[in-house]
Chains A and B, each alone.
Chain A
């Protein structure tokens, strides 16, 4: 494939997806596309449907109607390649409290059928400075450390597409800086990044593209620079909001 095609053809495509939970429509006719080498911020108020959308991209939920394509292939019909290429972090950490950090990663990595697992675990742990704690039980970790472990888990299989749902939750300022620099590097590596955060300014510094979701519908999908923030109801604060 021509390198130019590789970059411009969307790797993840959402086509007219609607999602019902019982009678409630969480997503309504959502369409968008993510390409490799791009970083996009998914922004919107609570209950807008961001988590639902991100979970569906990670194959954790199925659309009620519409389809999601990975490299042109419907992930419902054959999601194996999509799952192998996507790294996902969400509110839940997916960690077993009774296992150590390393054991958790080992189990997760074995599900991906990874070779050189020990080395990959070391690399992933180093990315988030968790190597020194690799033999600590997950239940003994603080929320922030669990989040870092979850991040390591997501990067274990060197995914092409990184999907992060409010990844900064619980992280101290140093870990935040670490994750931010990691996220900035991803587009350069030819990977795709889609993330959500409640702090618009923080997110805006990390992304080139903005997708605004409100009440389940896409209100804006385009470059972050020059986006009509006032119309979208987004207020930038003068200072960065610090984590508690």
Chain B
């Protein structure tokens, strides 16, 4: 990824795409009849949710790759994705109430998307906590990979279970359910927005990976220095 697609290009792409998305979010997409302007949060809320989910899929794949090949790069990718994905996941949970309160008068509802995202958020928290609290950093890769895999199995179960649960305990569909009719311009805006957020995700991921690499180099330099000093 490093050699094939330079970061500067990714940065430019993100800026351009985001700009287009912002324009479309605010100006191109038509105003929604009942909710008014506040509905535009939808174009941030939904892409963040999909991006957060994509993040955990990446963690899952990286975890499997690590346990199979013992590649430190896979572990670094999982760690970086955990941090970046957490931000986007939090974004969903913040934009949710911001949208719901003005639009429907309630702060929160256990809609399928919010339920899934909240459970996903808890998984991100657990994953990042594990990384922070480990006493022996040598074990971090193994343990986090195990949690990444079990966590992803849980995400799949979450999705299926939530769908089943809603058949038992139906709720009025709000916050843009899967079948809510979307004006084609709205759909286009949503897709463009989604693309923009995905670009942003990969840009942040790339930057975070670089940061991780620099930390490692710094650590190595420190150790070499300490060793040299102790020799004298």
- Footprint of B on A, CB under 8 Å? 20-25, 215
The secondary-structure label for the interface of chain B is: helix
- Within 8 Å CB of A20, what residues of B? 138
Query: Do B227 and A22 have beta carbons less than 8 Å apart?
Result: no
5 more A-B contacts (CB under 8 A) besides A23-B137, A23-B220, A215-B227?
A20-B138, A21-B136, A21-B137, A22-B137, A22-B219
In the complex, how many angstroms separate the beta carbon of A53 from the nearest chain B beta carbon?
Answer: 15
Query: Do B138 and A22 have beta carbons less than 8 Å apart?
Result: yes
Query: Do B223 and A25 have beta carbons less than 8 Å apart?
Result: yes
Bitwise, B132-175 to A at CB < 8 A (1) or not (0) is 00001110100000000000000000000000000000000000
Q: Does B216 contact A (CB under 8 A)?
A: yes
Query: Do B138 and A21 have beta carbons less than 8 Å apart?
Result: yes
In the complex, how many angstroms separate the beta carbon of A218 from the nearest chain B beta carbon?
Answer: 16
Instruction: With CB as the reference atom, state the residue of chain B lying closest to A19.
Output: B138
Query: Do A24 and B223 have beta carbons less than 8 Å apart?
Result: yes
In the complex, how many angstroms separate the beta carbon of B180 from the nearest chain A beta carbon?
Answer: 48
In the complex, how many angstroms separate the beta carbon of A61 from the nearest chain B beta carbon?
Answer: 8
Query: Do A23 and B216 have beta carbons less than 8 Å apart?
Result: yes
Alpha-carbon gap, A20 to B220, bound state (A): 11
Alpha-carbon gap, A20 to B136, bound state (A): 11
- Within 8 Å CB of A22, what residues of B? 137-138, 140, 219
Q: Number of A-B pairs whose CB atoms are under 8 Å? A: 17
Instruction: With CB as the reference atom, state the residue of chain B lying closest to A21.
Output: B138
- Within 8 Å CB of A25, what residues of B? 223
Query: Do A23 and B223 have beta carbons less than 8 Å apart?
Result: yes
Q: Which 6 A/B pairs are nearest by Cβ-Cβ distance?
A: A22-B137, A23-B219, A21-B138, A215-B227, A22-B138, A23-B216
Alpha-carbon gap, A3 to B220, bound state (A): 47
In the complex, how many angstroms separate the beta carbon of B139 from the nearest chain A beta carbon?
Answer: 9
Contacting residues of chain B (84-129) with chain A, CB-CB under 8 angstroms: none
Alpha-carbon gap, A24 to B223, bound state (A): 7
In the complex, how many angstroms separate the beta carbon of B72 from the nearest chain A beta carbon?
Answer: 9
- Within 8 Å CB of A21, what residues of B? 136-138
Alpha-carbon gap, A22 to B138, bound state (A): 5
Contacting residues of chain B (183-220) with chain A, CB-CB under 8 angstroms: 216, 219-220
- Within 8 Å CB of A215, what residues of B? 227, 230
Alpha-carbon gap, A25 to B220, bound state (A): 9
Alpha-carbon gap, A143 to B48, bound state (A): 57
- Within 8 Å CB of B216, what residues of A? 23
Instruction: With CB as the reference atom, state the residue of chain B lying closest to A215.
Output: B227
Alpha-carbon gap, A20 to B216, bound state (A): 12
